[in-house]
A = this chain, B = another copy of it.
Amino acid sequence: MSETFLTHLECGACGASHEAAEPQTVCKKCEKPLLARYDLAAARRSLRPDAMAARGGGLWKWRELLPVRDDASVVTLGEGSTPLIPTRALGRKLRLARLFVKDEGQMPTGSFKARGLAVAISRAKELGIRRVALPSAGNAGAAAAAYGARAGLEVTVFVPKDTPVANVKETVAAGAVVHLVDGLITDAGRFVSAGVAEGKWFSLATLREPYRIEGKKTMGYELAEAFDWRLPDVVVYPTGGGTGLVGMWKAFEEMEALGWLRAAKRPRMISVQAEGCAPIVRAFDEGAEFARPFENAHTSASGLRVPSAIGDFLMLRAIRASGGCALAVSDEEMIAAMGEIARDEGLLVCPEGAACLVALQKLVARGQVGADESIVLFNTGTGLKYLELLP
């Protein structure tokens, strides 16, 4: 059974081709992330956007453009098809006519991480992998634990010791082994790498395995479908590892090759980070191709506490190619925005999601968005995991 148009994996930096039928990590030549490639010409002949829209909901409606070969390998908790919620009260205050929040909090495990891990765990199971580990800021570990439990995989998660207690508890509840690390997610990553070297597990660290991004890219497909196969003018997205931003950009490219889009124009991609941890913002401002590790990284938006990311150059490339930018916001601003969004729109968002509103407010103040542009803020997770930030 083969329902995917997956052909091979290709290095995002040097372009080297890799076999997709066996487990892969990063590029064997340059150690940069591998990207899944599909026979999009064949897919274009058999898939039509109106037929895709008629398929109903969920991440797996994009089945042929995901890397899993056999239906029996699919591990699902009903993820995907999150609502695009018009936020008119916020829009009125900013004098913006078409402002939306894509609410990834309405998802298994309460965050956008479910997309990437649903696909990565399904593919790991399909490739015969039995034990996986990953470093996490919290939500990815919880999602890996949940999908791993369904798939019958052994899951080990390394998180910074100040990760929100909600994340730790839900990860443990799903039967994963959780190690609290005295340090940042990059330090947690070193423990995972050490275990890989010892043959203990396969690493699911984002962009160090090629399929989490495939799950995340479905956010881009969903945006296109929601906007009737056009794309919004502006996408505001909180970037830690940045897999979502890079994934959506990949989806836009794929949909262009598939001939699904009514207009060639892609959104301006706005990367949002925390002032206490803004490596991409700094690299963007400096015109650098790669981002230097951010010193003394700190922010209460745990998902943004990522001082260095292997996909940095892919993020920077997409932001620049789109005519977008990268912006940092303070913890105080994002926590205040959590309250503002809850009171104005009834949406309890995570601080990373709230950071997008703050970034948009700055863009409006600078005159960098038009009043009639369609703008999507990404709320990457439920605020229920961050109750300690609320009064």
Which of B81, B348, B387 touches A109 (beta carbons < 8 Å)? Answer: B348
Q: Is the CB of A173 within 8 A of B85?
A: no
Contact pattern, A 82-94, Cβ under 8 Å of B = 1, otherwise 0:
1111000100000
Q: Is the CB of B103 within 8 A of A77?
A: yes
Restricting to A323-366, which residues have a CB under 8 Å from any CB of B? 338-339, 342-348
Q: Is the CB of A173 within 8 A of B342?
A: yes
Q: Is A306 at the interface (CB under 8 A from chain B)?
A: no
Q: Is the CB of B56 within 8 A of A348?
A: no
Restricting to A351-391, which residues have a CB under 8 Å from any CB of B? 382-385, 387, 390-391
Q: Is the CB of A174 within 8 A of B346?
A: yes
Q: Chain B: which residue is nearest A143 at the CB level?
A: B346
Q: Is the CB of A106 within 8 A of B108?
A: yes
Q: If the complex has contacts A57-B57, A166-B384, A387-B166, are A174 and B348 also in contact, measured as CB distance less than 8 A?
A: yes
Q: Is the CB of A145 within 8 A of B175?
A: no
Q: Is the CB of B173 within 8 A of A339?
A: yes
Q: How many Å lie between the Cα of A110 and that of B387 in the bound state?
A: 14
Q: For residue A165, which residues in chain B have a CB less than 8 angstroms away from its CB?
A: 387
Q: For residue A343, which residues in chain B have a CB less than 8 angstroms away from its CB?
A: 149, 173-175
Q: Is A78 at the interface (CB under 8 A from chain B)?
A: yes
Instruction: State how many residues of chain A have any CB contact under 8 Å with chain B.
Output: 50
Q: For residue A339, which residues in chain B have a CB less than 8 angstroms away from its CB?
A: 173
Q: Is the CB of B175 within 8 A of A110?
A: no
Q: Chain B: which residue is nearest A108 at the CB level?
A: B106
Q: Is A107 at the interface (CB under 8 A from chain B)?
A: yes
Q: Is the CB of A384 within 8 A of B384?
A: yes
Q: How many Å lie between the Cα of A174 and that of B346 in the bound state?
A: 6
Q: Which 8 pairs between the two chains have the least Cβ-Cβ distance?
A: A78-B83, A146-B346, A149-B346, A175-B343, A173-B342, A150-B346, A384-B384, A57-B57
Pairs A–B under 8 Å by Cβ, sample size 29: A53-B56, A56-B56, A57-B57, A57-B81, A77-B83, A77-B346, A77-B347, A78-B103, A106-B107, A146-B348, A147-B346, A149-B342, A149-B344, A149-B345, A150-B345, A150-B346, A169-B390, A170-B342, A170-B348, A170-B383, A170-B384, A170-B387, A170-B390, A173-B339, A173-B348, A173-B390, A174-B348, A382-B384, A384-B384
